[in-house]
A = this chain, B = another copy of it.
Amino acid sequence: MGRKILTAKQYASEIRVGNRFVLSQAITLVESTLATSQNLAQTIISSLLPHTGNSLRLGITGVPGVGKSTFIDQLGMILIQKGHRIAVLSVDPSSQQSKGSILGDKTRMQRLSQQDSAYIRPSAAGSHLGGVAQQTREAILLCEAAGYDVIIIETVGVGQSETLVRHMTDFFLLLMISGAGDELQGMKRGIMEMADTIAINKADDGNEQAAQVAKRNYQQALHLFPPTPGKPQPKVVTCSALHNQGLHEIWKQIQAFIAATQASNYFQQQRQQQQRNWMHELINRQLSQDFFQQERIRKILPQIEEEVLHGSITAREGAERLITLHRNC
């Protein structure tokens, strides 16, 4: 069982011919904190870059219990039948206080995980949001180079991870269930605004009426948000992933959305904006790291922190002193 060490070129060509094992290894390199692994990963990605970007990047979110796994399993099967190749990636940055991975269990998508045309990657156990976002973006590129043409990036509806996923996808689907009052709509305001479609799942087994009520409520709520130029108004639909009802319609809606946004150029602009923002974020992270690693900053930082902590100077004054020191060198 000796493990052959591949060159970047070998990685790239194996990924291109659809070697899933090597794809997984490359994603592991992306997730590694070792400099050598990181460098290898970057070389692989750079050489694969001409083969990326040709997928539909589909974000799916919803709180635990809405039936996300069943939905993705079912939608994935439909897409495979239509000849697509599906990759499913998860973004599940642990919340700040409790560490714990909600997503990432392959067995959640029982049928899809057995398909040759599907690749399911469990969630990276990332410690900080920025790292997880970077890893996921690079995993998307690798999956695209491997020929997957629908990349599903799923996350869980608890806040910041939604924004991350929204910022790396072309279409954002919010899964909900019926039975929530007005207060839930308020709660979701920030997330609802990101959604291109809201699907009320579990509209089955006597729950159909409630789903219709929820649908109307969410439709009303969506009317409160101003339309985005170049982009169709978000829609609300009901579905039952369990009984495979409504999923074909959702897929049609997604296709119509993509066609409309490509025609209006919104699709292209959104991708470019995402790339631009991401580069800026990477720069900002690097600047911060460089700053705090400086010898002179590391020397004086504890003393200035002390003054800030004891309230003899404000945080702003402390920041200004350090910045001044940095500039004068």
* Known A95-B189, A158-B189, A190-B158; contact A279-B318, beta-carbon cutoff 8 A: yes
Residues 15-69 (chain A) with a chain B CB within 8 angstroms: 42, 45-46, 49-50, 52-53, 63-66
Residues 293-329 (chain A) with a chain B CB within 8 angstroms: 304-305, 308-309, 311-319, 322-323, 327
Is B95 a contact of A283 with CB atoms below 8 Å? no
Is B95 a contact of A193 with CB atoms below 8 Å? yes
* Known A276-B305, A287-B291, A309-B272; contact A184-B186, beta-carbon cutoff 8 A: no
Is B226 a contact of A319 with CB atoms below 8 Å? no
Residues of B within 8 A of A180 (CB): 180-181, 183-184
A275 at the interface (CB under 8 A from B): yes
A160 at the interface (CB under 8 A from B): yes
A77 at the interface (CB under 8 A from B): no
A182 at the interface (CB under 8 A from B): yes
Minimum distance in angstroms from A182 CB to a CB of chain B: 6
Residues of B within 8 A of A52 (CB): 311
A98 at the interface (CB under 8 A from B): yes
Residues of B within 8 A of A304 (CB): 279
A157 at the interface (CB under 8 A from B): yes
Is B189 a contact of A179 with CB atoms below 8 Å? no
A1 at the interface (CB under 8 A from B): no
Q: How far is the CA of A186 from the CA of B52 in the complex (A)?
A: 35
Q: How far is the CA of A159 from the CA of B66 in the complex (A)?
A: 20
Residues of B within 8 A of A225 (CB): 97-98
Output the nearest chain B residue to A309 by Cβ-Cβ distance: B272
A81 at the interface (CB under 8 A from B): no
A242 at the interface (CB under 8 A from B): no
Minimum distance in angstroms from A234 CB to a CB of chain B: 11
A residues lining the B interface (CB < 8 Å): 42, 45-46, 49-50, 52-53, 63-66, 95-98, 134, 137-138, 141, 156-160, 176-177, 179-184, 186-191, 193-194, 224-226, 228, 272, 275-276, 278-280, 282-284, 286-288, 290-292, 304-305, 308-309, 311-319, 322-323, 327
Would you give 17 A-B contacts (Cβ < 8 Å), ordered by A? A42-B317, A46-B317, A52-B311, A63-B189, A66-B183, A95-B190, A98-B193, A98-B225, A138-B316, A159-B159, A160-B190, A184-B184, A272-B309, A276-B305, A279-B318, A284-B284, A290-B323
